[in-house]
Structures are given as C-alpha cells and as structure tokens.
Structure 1
Amino acid sequence: MGEVKPDRVKAWTQGDKEKRNFTILQQIHSTRTLSGDGMTRTEKTDAEVVAPNYKLRDLWAEFCQTTAIHGFNKITRRNRRFTFRGVLWSVAVCGATAFLIFNLMSEIGDYYSFPIGTKVTNKIRSTIEFPAVTICNRCTLNRSRLMSYPDLEAYFRDASINERSSTVYNFADIVDGIMQQSQSLEWWTNMSMDASSLFNLCYFGGESIDCTSNFRPVFTDEGLCHTFNFNTSDIVNVKTSGNRANLIVNYDIGQRFYTFRENMAAGIKVLLHNSRHHPDANPTVVMAAPGFSTYVAMHKSEYVYLPHPYMAFDEMECVDTNRPDFVNPLKYYSPYTYDHCFMECIQTKAYNLCGCVGPSDPRSAEPDIPICSLEKQDTCYSISVREMFKNTTLEAECQCGTQCNFETFNAQVSSSAYPAEIWAETLNNNTNSETSEFFRNNFLELRVFYDKMMVTSIKQHPQYTRATLFSNVGGQMGLCLGASILTVAEIGELLTFMFLYMMDRLRGRKAENRFNRW
C-alpha cells in the first residue's frame, strides 16, 4: 500500500470530527430536559415528525387519528396499514354517513317546503271592538213615494215574477220614460225608507242613543240600508258582555209601505262585519222577523296567516297587507280584502259591459259615471253580475288573494214572541199602533251583543324554524357519527389541507404535515 500523506490524514480526521460534532448537536437539539419536576423528558423535533416523503395518505391518516368523528380513528392506524377491523369500521362509517346524508336531505326538504302549524287560543279581553251592524229592511223601497210613478209598482210586481221565471220584462208596456232614465243616488234615497220612520228606540251600553245620527245610510245589494259603527274615526269598543250591555234596537219595518220585490219575506236582514269594510264584503247574516225579540250572541275570531314564502291556504299564498311596502291595488275600496277585490272586479266588468253602475257601486258617487236605469239594470247589469258570480273561472281572472289578517263574527240566534200580552197595550199607545196585530206585523226588537269578553285567535306558525333545522341536523349528526358543528370545521380544515397539498405538488415543492406544524 502506498504511503498516506499527512495532510490527507488531517483532512479525514477533521471531517470525522465535524461529522461527530454535527451528530452531537443534532442529538442535543432533538432533546429537551424538563427539570421542573425533577424528571427528564425528550420530545421529538419537527425534523423527526416530518416524513421524508409526505403523501396524501399520510394526510388522511393524520385526519383519522385527530378528528372527533366516531369510528374514523379505527379505520387506519398510524403505521397506515389497513386491517380487517379497519375494513369493517370503514363499512360502518360509510353506512352511517349515507344514512346521515339521507336524513339531512329529508330535513332540508322539509324546511324548504315551509310547513305550517296552527295554534288556537282563547284570549280574555278587557275591551273588544264592536262590529258594524247593518240593518236592511226586506223591502227597502217605499211604496207611498213610488206613487208619483204609476207604472213602477206594476213593473216591480211583474219584474219580481219574471225574476223567478228567468224571463225578461217587456219595457214597451211602460210609456212614461222613467224606466229609461238614469237615476241619481238622491233619487234612490228619496224612493227608499228613511231611518226616522224605521228606528223607534236605540240603546247602546245601557244608554239611549239617537238612532238617526248613529245609523249611517249606505247602499248595498239589498238597496238602502243603515249601519251602526261604520267607517267612523272613533270605532266603538265594549267593556262588558251580555244582552243588556250592547246594542238594542226597536224597529218598525213599515210593512204597510212594502212594494213588490223579488224576495217575499217581511222583516230585516242584519249584517255583522268589520267596521272598515263594506257591508257586502262577506258579512255574517242574521234574519229577524216582526213580532219577535231576536237575540244575536256574537263571538269574535281573529285569523293570522303566514305570508310568502308560506302557503297559507294549501296551494295559495295570502296577501300581506301589513307589509311596510304594501300598496292597495284597489281603486274604489279600502282597505284591501278579498271581498273588496272581488266586488270591484265584478263591478268593473259589469260597467265595461253595460256602461253604467248600480247604486251600491262606489263609482255611483262620481258625477261622470251614470247609474243604470231600471231598464238597463234589468236587461244588462243585474244579469251580468248574476252570471259572473256563477262563473267559476272569474276568481282566477280577477287575481284576488285573501289577506293574511282578518276577523269573523260567529252568531248564535234565538228569539221569542214580542211583545208579551201584558205589554201589548202599553206599546201600542207608545207607537200609535192601531191594534196589537198591527204592532206584531211591523215591530221587532233586536239585541246584538258579545256572549263573553273573549276572542278566539287562530294563528299560523312555522313548523320548521332555523333553530329547529339546526337542532334536527345536530341530532342526526350526533346519532349517526357522533359529530357536531365543530366537526364541520374539521372537515373544512381537511379539505383546505388537501388543497394546499395539491398546490405544493403542482409547484414541485415538498408537501408539509400541516396537522402538526400549524
């Protein structure tokens, strides 16, 4: 062997020395002495934790060992070797995950179907708003005032008979021209019975009130009627219930002034409705006959339905009139209600067909809108309105929706003979009645009152709220995988690390174990 030069021996010795020093420093760096409790512990440094070639399966193994989801830590071990036990746990976790996804889709589907529940409660009130009470005589026209038109009584008689036989009246028989003239509301008012002759005595809240000033004349489909507590700035409220505490009316139907009309009854038609609504707008109807004292015991119900996106009426949404940006689409009725909308739609179509309106149409008060003559009413307007009410497709054409908030008045009616024999003579003298039979054929007593100071509230509420949805989702996650909302953050973290891993590989950089470094 050749002789080794001293300078080369020196270099080798120096290199071994540096290698040994590096090894010692690495060992010193890789251990840390903790002397606080008198014991020495060693901790592995990041250099020992990071695998030389960190792969995607390493990332998955780290997630399985650190996540809070039940079963994942049994799928794979730290040495990344799959076992039969791991395969069984994989199947169990996949099955539980599929079941969870199925349940979550069902929960979300239920939430976005916006199911509705209904709650019915009875509430005791210290005060209750009294409804409007509209009283319509079964014959609103006064025969004594029609005598200046000799042919009118014959017309009303024949037209009433034709109404029942569906035939059209022959107007050629009338030659005085009254049938072809467009009459004003003033004319119709003068031909009708007035409040001063109909109302004898009126009481409200146990105190006598002036009938004429408290009952406002209003035109309805029945003709000229009179309404108590209608569309006033100060709506009447009641604080007590019972037949003595609310409205009492002694009424003379004036049967001696009746003329022929399509209905053959004698008495009054009582309409109970919201004070701000027209009397024809879906009222509660009660009939009262002369010779009887009629008691109308009311019970108020309030309905509150859910607006869009909920289907308040099975397949239909309600109109949210309480929405701040809601604008009443109706021109002649306020406030917006389904009945006001439907009435305006029919009246508008009838006006477009006939060129005139009926006395109950709000447009009749406008000077440039003519009221139909009797001939036009008989041959066009009444027929058109009657046919439109029979048309089942008209509701879709009018596009009227029911409001989300409304109220109804349920009534229980009872009656007894009026007056008692002992009172007959006294009442005959007070009303200037000729005989007791005359009194019983013309006079009646009406009492309208709340049976209890109680209101029934029917209110819809969402079956699924956000809190309900999150509660159900959390329950399903806990049942299937023992997971929670924070588990979603873990999954999000895994997806983020997987994305960063792919970015490292695409850039040609060494992938990092971010589970332990971050």
Structure 2
Amino acid sequence: MTNLSYTQKLKEIVESSSMHGIPNVIRTKSTVIRIFWILIILSFFSYSTYSVVLIIIKYFQYNVIVRMKIVESYNSEFPAVTFCNINPFDFTIEENFKMVSLLLNESFLYRNDLKSKICNSQMTGMLNNALPNLKGFTLEKLLVSCQFDEKPCDPNNFFPQRTFYYRNCYSFNYGKNSTGQSIPIQNAKRTGIINGLTLKLFIGAPEYQPCWEHRFGALIVVHNQTSPPVFAQEGLFVQPGAETNFVLNKVTINKMVSPYSNCVANISNRNELDSVWYRNAFDFSGRYTQKWCILNCSVSKVMEENIPICEALDLASSLERALCLNNLQNVTNFYGLCSHECPIECDYSYFNIFTSASSFPSYSYANFLLSNKSFMSKFPYGNVTMEQLRDSVVSLNVYFDSSSFQKIEELPESDFGSLLGNLGGQLGLFLGVSFLTFAELFEILFQFLFIFFQNHKKLDFKNNCKTKVEILEKPL
C-alpha cells in the first residue's frame, strides 16, 4: 500500500509537470511512442547539459567586452609638459669642460673623428655615473619664452625633474611648483593653438655640442600629472630651426578589476602589490606607473647581466669598463619578463599626439632675438649668425584641437543576471524547464514526506490496535 501511494503520487505530479516531454512518457499507452519520447528527452537533456557546462565555464573565464565612446568635456585639465635638452650637459660652464677633459684626456668638442671611443653614443650614461656633479642646463638658460592661454607662464609653475640620462628636465603644469609644493593644475579653457602652451627653448650653442651626441634639439613628453615622464618610451624630439605643433587628443582607459584582470586598482597604495619593482616605481614619484616599473626592472636586469660579461673581457681602462656596463642594447629582452611583475593600471589615460612643423624663426623674429640682450647672454660668444641662431633655438605649441575625448572602458561579458538568463534559455528551449519546475521538485519532496508520515501514523495505529486485541484475548 505504501509503495503504491508513492507511485501514484509521483505519477500524478509528473503528468501535470511543466517540464515538457516527460508527461507524454507517462500518459501514452503505446510502447513505441514512449520509447520515442524517452530518446528525444535524453538527446535534448544531453545537449542542454553540454551547453550549460560551456556557459558556466565561460562565465568563470571572466571575459570582458570593450566599449568606446566620445565624451564632451569643457574646461578639462591641461596635461603636464616636460622638456629636456638632448645634450644634458652645459659645456659653456668651464668647470664642466675641465672635468670631462680631464677624465677623457682628449678633446670632445670640434671633432671630426666620430669613430673615437669617446664619441660613443653611450658616453652620456657613462659620464652620469663617473661625474655625477656635472651641471646641466638651468631653467633660466633653457627657457627663452613661455605662454599659456595667451598669458605669460608663471616661472613658479615649472617643476624640476632630475633624470639619470638627460640630467635637468622641467615639467610645466605638473601640479608642483619649483620647490615641490602642490599647486593647482591649470585647465584648457578653450581649444586651438593660441589657447594652449607655447614654448621657445635655447638648446645651447651648436659648437658646444659634444661629439657623442649625434643629434641636437629638445625632448618633449606630454603626460598626466599622476605619472612621471618616461622619456625612453614617451619622449618626442623637437628639432631646431622649426616650430613644431603638438595637437592632442586625450584617451582614457577604464579596465575591470580582479578577477577580470590583474591590473592595479589603487596606484596610490605602496602595498597594493607584493613586488619589489612595484615598490621601486611607487617610491620614485609617490604613484605607480607600469611604464616606469618595466623600464626600471629591465635596465637593472641588463646591468646585472653585463657585470660578468664585462669582467670576463678584462678591460683595461675605466672608460671601457663603464661603456660595457652601460650597454643597454638588450634592454627590450627583459620587457616581457618584467611585465609580469609590473601589471598595468586599472584606470589611466594618455594622449594621442599629431605633429606638424614650419620653419623657425622668421627673419624678423630672428632679428628680434639677436637684438635681445637677455637672449644673447646665453651664448658664450658674440657675433651670432643667423645659422647659429636657428641651430640653437626650438619652438613648440601644445594644444587640444577638440573639446571631446575618447573613453574606452571594459564591461563584463557575462554577469550573474546574464548567466541565469543563458542557463534558463538553454533549459527552457530544450527541456521546457523553468524556475517553477524546480519548485515542483520541492513539491515532490514535500508530498513524499507527507505520505511517509501518514503511512507511519497508520502503521503505528495498526500496531497499537493489534496489541490491544492480543491483550484482550489473552486468558486471565
């Protein structure tokens, strides 16, 4: 009786189930049709199970989709602009000239023999190591004129950046003044060349360029205030004798945090990542940037690799040993290795830069400079020719050509809501299963428990009655 009750109740629930196909297996009296429905249900159940597994696996892969849009932004922050002289040392300073001449024991100016060891392009790095007291160009000597938003620049808005290779560099609108104190960041109120930054720089007398510098001009980096300039990767050269326009288009990137990527969410936290290279990059500027981290890591590993190589060569002179140790030709070999210890930032921005140039200076402006006593005092000699003037001055304009910027953001390809939708779609399409179907499973469990307790009560009642009858029938 008990088994019959379970079977009857199960049959009753299944026949009214919202799960398609199974009621047909129970209701039909034809064996052929029953086998047909069983095969159909098993086939669709197998395929839907396969699809459900794929959907769940794909969900836990944490894939993302990329959305790009154009955002209008008026009165946005103007970027920091850092400039350096390609020739980092001012050899019009007599002390500089004497120290280098004594070290090299050779003339390094006015040379035609560029095959000499002292004319090696690695000489700048070697001198930075051997003679750390060599003086670079001061801001007063570099800067001829500066204008931002049609107004003269405040000299206090230039932050000095001490670099290993280019020695003295200066950042305009970095958010710090000349003493390192925080100051407000200036905004670009309007677009166009006259509303941006205009710089004219003196890069030194052409005759005082050392023989190891095979080019001369200025190095410019346009970057955010949140990151220091990375000259090796972001620097653009500006040539003398030309006025160069830097037309900016800003791009912002917003990446998904873990588990969608391994990006660094909080670049202002020194302990955000357990990596010595991360902490070194953070300590350099108080914020983390991937470019600086990879560069620092790669250069350090190359120099470590150079030590046994240079020792095995048994080089005689200190100059040759220094040139060997500072050989960074293989630095890019370590970029991939260092990128694992230097993950990218989750939120960052950069500037697409389009350049154009025209001849500079014009005849009238050249005459103006030649008659300017303050400018002429930068030369170590008088009687400056027009050609010497053109080879000693660079001019550039940095500005936005549009008030809009490009925003690129990552979004999850599948969130929990879409996961449920995909699962429901597969189960509903092939099996007719919905959330109500799962409720029917609880109904079956409840009905079985109800039958179990009802049968148990009946059994106890029968046993009690049987015991009483036996007692009454027992002879006294």
* Normalised TM-score (structure 1): 0.70
Pick aligned residue for 1:286 from 215, 228, 236: 236
2:146 alignment partner in structure 1 = 202
Pick aligned residue for 1:341 from 285, 293, 300: 293
Distance 1:419 1:168 in 2: 32
2:279 alignment partner in structure 1 = 330
> 1:263 is paired with a residue of what secondary structure?
coil
1:451 alignment partner in structure 2 = 401
Shift of 1:435: 3.4
Tell me if the contact between 1:248 and 1:448 (Cα under 8 Å) persists in the aligned partners: yes
Amino acid at match of 2:292: H
Distance 1:94 1:116 in 2: 34
Distance 2:77 2:116 in 1: 42
After superposition, give the CA deviation of every residue in 1:363-397 in whole Å (9 maximum; x if it has no partner).
xxxxxxxxxxxx87863587257166143377259
Alpha-carbon spacing, 1:71–1:281, altered in 2? closer, same or farther (3 Å) = farther
Alpha-carbon spacing, 1:197–1:324, altered in 2? closer, same or farther (3 Å) = closer
Shift of 1:465: 0.9
Amino acid at match of 1:278: P
After superposition, give the CA deviation of every residue in 1:54-83 in whole Å (9 maximum; x if it has no partner).
354334312212321122222213xx9674
1:8 alignment partner in structure 2 = none
Does 1:63 find its partner at 2:13? yes
Does 1:411 find its partner at 2:353? yes
Alpha-carbon spacing, 1:494–1:438, altered in 2? closer, same or farther (3 Å) = same
Distance 1:254 1:324 in 2: 41
Shift of 1:295: 0.6
1:392 alignment partner in structure 2 = 334
Shift of 1:139: 0.9
Alpha-carbon spacing, 1:107–1:504, altered in 2? closer, same or farther (3 Å) = farther
Distance 1:167 1:421 in 2: 37
2:312 alignment partner in structure 1 = none
Tell me if the contact between 2:122 and 2:327 (Cα under 8 Å) persists in the aligned partners: no
Distance 1:200 1:323 in 2: 36
1:20 alignment partner in structure 2 = none
> 2:419 is paired with a residue of what secondary structure?
helix
Amino acid at match of 1:342: I
Alpha-carbon spacing, 1:323–1:73, altered in 2? closer, same or farther (3 Å) = farther
2:420 alignment partner in structure 1 = 470
Tell me if the contact between 1:119 and 1:459 (Cα under 8 Å) persists in the aligned partners: yes
Shift of 1:408: 1.4
Tell me if the contact between 1:293 and 1:444 (Cα under 8 Å) persists in the aligned partners: yes
Distance 1:489 1:460 in 2: 37
Distance 1:181 1:459 in 2: 43
> 2:424 is paired with a residue of what secondary structure?
helix
Shift of 1:109: 1.6
Pick aligned residue for 1:319 from 264, 268, 287: 264
Shift of 1:159: 9.9
Does 1:133 find its partner at 2:81? yes
1:426 alignment partner in structure 2 = 368
Does 1:310 find its partner at 2:260? yes
> 1:144 is paired with a residue of what secondary structure?
coil
Shift of 1:248: 0.4
Shift of 1:90: 2.7
Distance 1:117 1:489 in 2: 35
Q: Which runs of 5+ in 2 are unaligned?
A: 177-181, 308-316, 377-382, 461-476
Is the deviation greater in 122-131 or in 283-292? 283-292
Distance 2:15 2:421 in 1: 27
Is the deviation greater in 229-238 or in 490-499? 490-499
Distance 1:382 1:491 in 2: 77
Amino acid at match of 2:142: L
Alpha-carbon spacing, 1:52–1:435, altered in 2? closer, same or farther (3 Å) = closer
Distance 2:42 2:352 in 1: 59
Distance 1:82 1:203 in 2: 94
After superposition, give the CA deviation of every residue in 1:211-252 in whole Å (9 maximum; x if it has no partner).
4x3333222232222221225232222121111111101212
Distance 1:219 1:471 in 2: 57
Alpha-carbon spacing, 1:151–1:509, altered in 2? closer, same or farther (3 Å) = farther
Alpha-carbon spacing, 1:409–1:382, altered in 2? closer, same or farther (3 Å) = farther
After superposition, give the CA deviation of every residue in 1:246-305 in whole Å (9 maximum; x if it has no partner).
110121212246341533112111111222322226653222111111111011111111
Alpha-carbon spacing, 1:283–1:390, altered in 2? closer, same or farther (3 Å) = closer
Tell me if the contact between 1:168 and 1:378 (Cα under 8 Å) persists in the aligned partners: no
Does 1:76 find its partner at 2:26? yes
Does 1:162 find its partner at 2:110? no
Amino acid at match of 2:279: L
Alpha-carbon spacing, 1:147–1:52, altered in 2? closer, same or farther (3 Å) = closer
Amino acid at match of 2:272: V
After superposition, give the CA deviation of every residue in 1:302-360 in whole Å (9 maximum; x if it has no partner).
1111222224xxxxx322226999636514223112123234435666898999xxxxx
Distance 1:326 1:487 in 2: 50
Distance 2:122 2:397 in 1: 40
Does 1:151 find its partner at 2:95? no
Instruction: Work out the percentage of aligned pairs sharing the same amino acid.
Output: 22
> 1:330 is paired with a residue of what secondary structure?
helix
Amino acid at match of 1:330: R
Pick aligned residue for 2:47 from 86, 90, 99: 99
Tell me if the contact between 1:269 and 1:285 (Cα under 8 Å) persists in the aligned partners: yes
Distance 1:472 1:159 in 2: 70
> 2:194 is paired with a residue of what secondary structure?
coil
Distance 1:339 1:408 in 2: 12
The Cα RMSD (Å) is 3.9
Alpha-carbon spacing, 1:309–1:164, altered in 2? closer, same or farther (3 Å) = farther
2:162 alignment partner in structure 1 = 219
Alpha-carbon spacing, 1:140–1:167, altered in 2? closer, same or farther (3 Å) = closer
Distance 1:417 1:496 in 2: 90
Alpha-carbon spacing, 1:338–1:249, altered in 2? closer, same or farther (3 Å) = same
Alpha-carbon spacing, 1:166–1:223, altered in 2? closer, same or farther (3 Å) = closer
Alpha-carbon spacing, 1:89–1:155, altered in 2? closer, same or farther (3 Å) = farther
Amino acid at match of 1:456: Q
1:192 alignment partner in structure 2 = 136
Alpha-carbon spacing, 1:257–1:141, altered in 2? closer, same or farther (3 Å) = farther
Is the deviation greater in 406-415 or in 218-227? 218-227
* Normalised TM-score (structure 2): 0.76
Tell me if the contact between 1:142 and 1:257 (Cα under 8 Å) persists in the aligned partners: no
2:471 alignment partner in structure 1 = none
Alpha-carbon spacing, 1:278–1:472, altered in 2? closer, same or farther (3 Å) = same
Tell me if the contact between 1:347 and 1:385 (Cα under 8 Å) persists in the aligned partners: no
Amino acid at match of 1:419: P
Aligned pair count reads 421
Amino acid at match of 2:349: E
